[in-house]
Amino acid sequence: MLHKFKVKTSAKSEMADITREVGVIVRDSGAQSGVCHIFVPHTTCGLAINENADPDVKRDIIAKLNETVSEDFPYRHSEGNSPAHIKSVLVGPSLTVFMEGGALQLGTWQGICLCEYDGPRHREVWVKLIKT
């Protein structure tokens, strides 16, 4: 079964924590073991697993991506959001996380983030669980 939920972002660039929402889907599914596939059907955002304890990590990631993929390049795409498309390609639209004991298997400091590059927007996250 495919599960979907919405995320409302509030800034042009941000890393929105979605760990809880994905974890609830896993818990409520009754799956004890397997894999959790997470996907965003958008071309200007992505998904990442990274440190979720210190908010400076997210700020540093966003700042470095903004520096690396600058706004002042002579992009051909006329909508003005080419940097967001490039960041999305670099980060990627999907993740896979193991499930054991009815829960996501993440490291101590890890969290799952929707990475917004063209916000604020309403985004959709798709979650597919494969039970083993």
Give 2-131's CATH code, choosing from 2.60.120.260, 1.40.20.10, 3.40.605.10, 2.60.120.460. Answer: 2.60.120.460
Tens digits of residue pLDDT in 3-32: 999 999 999 999 999 999 999 999 999 999
Q: What is the pTM of this model?
A: 0.96
- Sign of the dihedral defined by the CA atoms of residues 47, 52, 55, 56, in that order: negative
Residue 101: how many CA atoms within 13 Å on its side-chain side? 3
Q: Given the structure tokens 């042009």, which residue do they identify?
A: 12
Task: Encode pLDDT of 55-113 as tens digits.
Answer: 999 999 999 999 999 999 999 998 999 999 999 999 999 999 999 999 999 999 999 99
For the beta carbon of residue 108, count every other beta carbon within 10 angstroms: 7
Kind and range of the H or E run holding 33 = strand 33-39
Cβ-based neighbours of 30, under 8 Å, separated by 6 or more: 102
CA–CA gap between residue 84 and residue 71 (Å, rounded): 9
Residue 29 in 3-state DSSP? helix
User: Sign of torsion, CA 113 114 120 121?
Assistant: negative
